[in-house]
Amino acid sequence: NRCSLRGDEMDEQLGKLCCCLKVYFPCIFGDAKGGGAPLVSFSEVKGTRVKISNFYVAGSGTALVNVPLIQNRAYWEFKIVELGHFCAGVCEPSKANLDGQLSDRKKTWAISSKSLKCEFKKGDLLGMGYDLSDIRPVLRVYHNGKLVKSIKCSKDMQGDVYPCVSVEEGCMLEANFEGSLQPFQYGPPQNYSGIMFTRDIL
């Protein structure tokens, strides 16, 4: 009926408002990292127009995570909060082209939301699996738990690589890197685990 529809619309608008407030006014909600053990989170290596708050990312540009991927098989997720264009993957650490998208960077292996044959909706989950157990590292991409893309990374990768993401066109994502603060919704796949905190060197 009309009343319940109006209530649903109000809930949706309030949800959008809260998400935006978390990104642009993080002091209102506090810091999810708290004073306990260090967490895998977004680092300070990001574009000037990227907005980071706890595990939300919005604005325009690229952001890197604060720890490298050194375990055999790592898994993490991005929840689509607001639709727009995004890229997600792994990269060698560099501060070049942070105001652009991952597709603008060298030494980066990523997928683009425009290249995947998926109809993304708000609330969808993008799962990322990075497998170091083979001769060449493999990046596997999941949409709501279904494998949709596998990328063999370059043989000439040198040193550590980091999870990374870029957003634009109004996109907002919520990251889940470890699966400890909240469980993964669709993973991890067999033999994978959330990203382990090793050292924050960025």
Handedness of CA 31, 129, 190, 117 (dihedral sign): positive
| pLDDT over 80 (residue 3) | no
Arithmetic mean of pLDDT, 173-193: 93
Structure-token pair, residue 55 = 């595990």
Report how far Cα 5 is from the mean position of its chain's Cα atoms. 32
Q: What is the pLDDT of residues 14-61, one digit of tens each?
A: 444 444 444 444 443 344 444 556 789 999 999 999 999 989 999 999
Structure-token pair, residue 89 = 């993957």
| CB 199, CB 60: distance < 8 Å | no
Instruction: Sketch out the chain's domains with CATH numbers.
Output: 29-194 (2.60.120.920)
Q: What is the pLDDT of residues 90-148, one digit of tens each?
A: 999 989 999 999 988 988 999 999 999 899 999 999 999 999 988 889 999 999 999 99
Nearest C-alpha neighbor of 97 from the set 133, 55, 45: 45
| CB 90, CB 130: distance < 8 Å | yes
- 3-state class (DSSP) for residue 99: coil
pTM (predicted TM-score): 0.80
Q: What is the pLDDT of residues 67-82, one digit of tens each?
A: 999 999 999 999 999 9
The predicted pLDDT at position 9 comes to 53
